[in-house]
């Protein structure tokens, strides 16, 4: 066997992979990409140890609901595992239309399009409507899916300070009134737990004739009548042009949707690459989301339990004088401000069997390094007792 006289030089990409500090530190401290071996309600098991999950987006606690599990199973029996195609081509099925009609009616819009991932839906809420000649105004704390849509749109984008209508107003005053404008913000910001100041933003949209896109992934199921979301919470559904959301939060599934007028959805289906080229949502995911949507309307006890749990959890954190960044929703950060404090607080919670998530700069603003937690309707009184004990212990370690 012949050997080369000289070793082949490594490509710059390979060199970059081998020298990446972010990956090296992530692997060293083992903070992300954990694998759970088992799950029962709010309990998960990792490496043989049991934890109470305190960072799931399963706000209404529906992930183990028997009606949802049955609906997903029956859909596979009837339709198989996948439609193996995009909706534009061969992937459309009657169950897609049924879910879209129910979602549109629920959020108060004429039409809807469902996607196989919430990320695709939220990106499509921008790429499906924005033109290169438009100017986009985006809250600087938007989710990555929206930033992907903004970048892919090719339109110019101006960022305004987080949840700050006054700063948006300042930016608008410098722009040509004839340039088409699109406002992009979230109903509930998942890292901070803040509710958008929607009434003030809508006033600006009316003043400047702007098109409004609202990502309500973390408001859907939590705010509004029966969980209809942030726009319903403020009675401003008609003033919001596009509502998008994920199924992986309150609906406890996978997928997402964009809702708007029929004309707008038809337009998006012609222009959004995410809609045109991505495979249709699977039968089981579609059926599970539909079942969850019906449960939200038929079983109000889940939302009531969420409110009760949230009140107690906020009191636990308040009594310990922990900074929750003025969170108003079940997504509650514990802001510690320093990477080292966050790491040791997180480790202490794990020692007591509580699983949370670390988020540090640049994922959050400098000085806002935090533990991301989320309360669920499925947390029991026993869970909350253990969470309270663990929080006291973690505070003692920093």
Reply yes or no on whether the pLDDT at 4 is more than 70.
no
Over range 7-13, report the average pLDDT: 81
Q: Is residue 74 domain-shared with residue 196, that is, in the same domain? A: yes
Instruction: Report the 10 Å Cβ neighbour count for 94.
Output: 8
Q: Cβ neighbours of residue 246 under 8 Å, at least 6 residues apart?
A: 117, 118, 119, 121, 122, 217, 220, 255, 256
Give dist(CA 274, CA 123) in Å, integer.
Answer: 8
Reply yes or no on whether the pLDDT at 243 is more than 70.
yes
Let me know: does 377 contact 59? Beta carbons within 8 Å: yes
Q: Is residue 153 domain-shared with residue 111, that is, in the same domain? A: yes
Q: Is residue 5 part of a domain?
A: no
Q: Cβ neighbours of residue 300 under 8 Å, at least 6 residues apart?
A: 226
Q: Is residue 174 domain-shared with residue 208, that is, in the same domain? A: yes
The whole-number pLDDT of residue 290 equals 98
Q: What is the pLDDT of residues 136-176, one digit of tens each?
A: 999 999 999 999 999 999 999 999 999 999 999 999 999 99
Q: Is residue 78 domain-shared with residue 137, that is, in the same domain? A: yes
Band (pLDDT 50/70/90 cuts) for residue 3 is low
Q: Is residue 60 part of a domain?
A: no
Q: Is residue 250 part of a domain?
A: yes
The whole-number pLDDT of residue 5 equals 56
Q: Is residue 61 part of a domain?
A: no
Q: Which of 298, 317, 345 is the last residue of a domain?
A: 298
Q: Is residue 179 part of a domain?
A: yes
Q: Is residue 165 part of a domain?
A: yes
- CATH number, position 356: 3.90.1150.10
Q: Is residue 211 domain-shared with residue 165, that is, in the same domain? A: yes
Q: Is residue 84 domain-shared with residue 221, that is, in the same domain? A: yes
The whole-number pLDDT of residue 362 equals 82
Greatest alpha-carbon span in the chain? 76
The whole-number pLDDT of residue 300 equals 97
Q: Cβ neighbours of residue 203 under 8 Å, at least 6 residues apart?
A: 165
Task: Tell me which DSSP letter residue 11 carries.
Answer: P
Q: Is residue 372 domain-shared with residue 249, that is, in the same domain? A: no
Reply yes or no on whether the pLDDT at 178 is more than 60.
yes
- CATH number, position 266: 3.40.640.10
Q: Is residue 101 part of a domain?
A: yes
Band (pLDDT 50/70/90 cuts) for residue 365 is confident
Reply yes or no on whether the pLDDT at 10 is more than 90.
no
The whole-number pLDDT of residue 73 equals 98
CA 88 centroid distance within chain: 26
The whole-number pLDDT of residue 6 equals 57
> Which domain covers residue 385, as residue numbers?
26-55+300-396
Q: Which of 298, 328, 358 is the last residue of a domain?
A: 298
- Please count the structural domains in the chain: 2
Reply yes or no on whether the pLDDT at 303 is more than 90.
yes
Q: Is residue 120 domain-shared with residue 33, that is, in the same domain? A: no
For strand 181-186 and strand 211-215, is the pairing parallel, antiparallel, or unpaired?
A: parallel
Q: Cβ neighbours of residue 190 under 8 Å, at least 6 residues apart?
A: 57, 143, 217, 218, 331
Which pTM does this prediction carry?
A: 0.94
CB-neighbour burial class of residue 301 (10 A; exposed 0-12, middle 13-18, buried 19+)? exposed
Q: Is residue 181 domain-shared with residue 231, that is, in the same domain? A: yes
Q: Is residue 49 domain-shared with residue 90, that is, in the same domain? A: no
Reply yes or no on whether the pLDDT at 232 is more than 90.
yes
What's the Cα-to-Cα distance from 237 to each of 52, 181, 261, rounded to whole Å? 36, 19, 12
Instruction: Please report the DSSP string for 18-29 in residue order.
Output: HT-HHHHHHHHH
Over range 230-235, report the average pLDDT: 98
Q: Is residue 251 domain-shared with residue 109, that is, in the same domain? A: yes
Over range 192-221, report the average pLDDT: 98
Q: Is residue 160 domain-shared with residue 257, that is, in the same domain? A: yes
Over range 43-61, report the average pLDDT: 97
CB-neighbour burial class of residue 178 (10 A; exposed 0-12, middle 13-18, buried 19+)? exposed
Q: Which of 245, 267, 298 is the last residue of a domain?
A: 298
The whole-number pLDDT of residue 332 equals 97
Let me know: does 135 contact 158? Beta carbons within 8 Å: yes
Q: Is residue 187 part of a domain?
A: yes
């Amino acid at each position: 066997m012949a050997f080369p006289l000289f070793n082949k030089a490594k490509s710059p990409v390979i060199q970059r992979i081998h020298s990446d500090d972010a990956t090296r530190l992530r692997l060293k401290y083992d903070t992300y990409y954990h694998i759970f071996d088992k799950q029962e309600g709010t309990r998960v098991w990792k490496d043989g140890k049991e934890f109470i999950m305190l960072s799931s987006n399963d706000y209404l606690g529906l992930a183990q609901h028997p009606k949802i599990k049955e609906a997903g199973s029956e859909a596979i029996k009837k339709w198989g595992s996948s439609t193996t195609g995009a909706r534009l081509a061969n992937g459309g099925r009657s169950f897609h239309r049924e879910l879209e009609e129910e979602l549109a009616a629920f959020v108060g819009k004429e039409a809807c399009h469902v996607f196989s991932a919430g990320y695709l839906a939220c990106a499509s809420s921008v790429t499906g409507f924005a033109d290169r000649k438009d100017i986009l105004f985006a809250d600087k704390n938007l989710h990555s899916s929206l930033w992907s849509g903004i970048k892919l749109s090719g339109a110019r984008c101006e960022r305004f300070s987080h949840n700050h209508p006054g700063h948006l107003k300042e930016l608008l005053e410098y722009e040509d009134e004839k340039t088409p404008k699109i406002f992009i913000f979230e109903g509930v910001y998942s890292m901070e737990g803040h509710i958008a100041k929607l009434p003030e933003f809508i006033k600006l949209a009316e003043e400047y004739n702007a098109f409004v896109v609202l990502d309500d992934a973390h408001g859907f199921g939590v705010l509004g009548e029966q969980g209809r979301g942030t726009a319903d919470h403020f009675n401003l559904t008609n003033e919001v042009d596009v509502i998008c959301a994920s199924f992986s939060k309150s609906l406890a599934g996978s997928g997402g949707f964009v809702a708007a007028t029929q004309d707008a959805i038809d337009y998006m289906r012609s222009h959004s690459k995410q809609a045109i080229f991505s495979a249709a949502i699977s039968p089981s995911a579609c059926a599970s989301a539909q079942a969850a949507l019906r449960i939200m309307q038929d079983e109000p006890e889940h939302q009531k339990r969420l409110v009760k749990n949230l009140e107690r959890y906020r009191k636990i954190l308040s009594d310990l004088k922990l900074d929750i960044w003025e969170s108003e929703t079940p997504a509650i950060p514990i802001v510690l401000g320093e990477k080292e404090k966050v790491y040791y607080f997180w480790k202490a919670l794990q020692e007591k069997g509580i699983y949370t998530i670390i988020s540090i700069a640049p994922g959050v603003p400098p000085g806002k390094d935090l533990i991301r937690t989320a309360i669920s309707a499925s947390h029991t009184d026993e869970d909350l007792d253990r969470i309270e004990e663990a929080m006291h212990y973690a505070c003692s370690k920093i």
